[in-house]
Amino acid sequence: MPRTEHNIGRQRSTRYEICTNGLLTLRGRQLQALRLGTDPNAQANIEAIDRVLIDVIGYTGNIAEESRDFRRTSTFRRGELRRAVADVLRKADRPLTTLEVAKAVLEPRGVEVSYARKHKARVTNVLAVLKVMAGEGRVAKTTNRQGNLAWSFAPL
């Protein structure tokens, strides 16, 4: 294939943008591993990545600022909260409020739950799962004796 026809020479980068981005991402993951204590070599890996960025690639930006540990640790994996909510409702002998479902699902994992402002997002996540399941017909929405919204499992 002729070089001038397909302009191959211009497609090559001399600034290593993709490599730099990958190394900064890897450094962020190593920071997370260092914070969580999952990798005993995380600190050595971070130092090695810094040496490659500076000495080999010639990166001049602020490495620490560009590769902060932004990742959060999630309490549940994909679909796990939904399965846990369904299990709690299956085992319940009466309709449960959203807060009761949230406590039954989250407290075994060491997460505190209440209607306080700092815990409201977790209760809201459980409520969102309950609403989706109600839309699918898997969960029935009722009210309890106090007039609060309650949920019960609706077998198919």
Structure tokens belonging to residue 8: 């191959």
- How much is the pTM? 0.56
What pLDDT is recorded for position 11?
A: 46
For the stretch 35-87, pLDDT in tens is 888 899 999 999 999 999 999 888 888 898 888 776 667 778 888 999 999 99
What pLDDT is recorded for position 68?
A: 78
- Indicate the range of 53-57, 107-111, 152-156 predicted with least confidence: 152-156
Alpha helices in 2-108 (DSSP H): 3-6, 8-11, 17-36, 42-51, 63-66, 80-91, 98-106
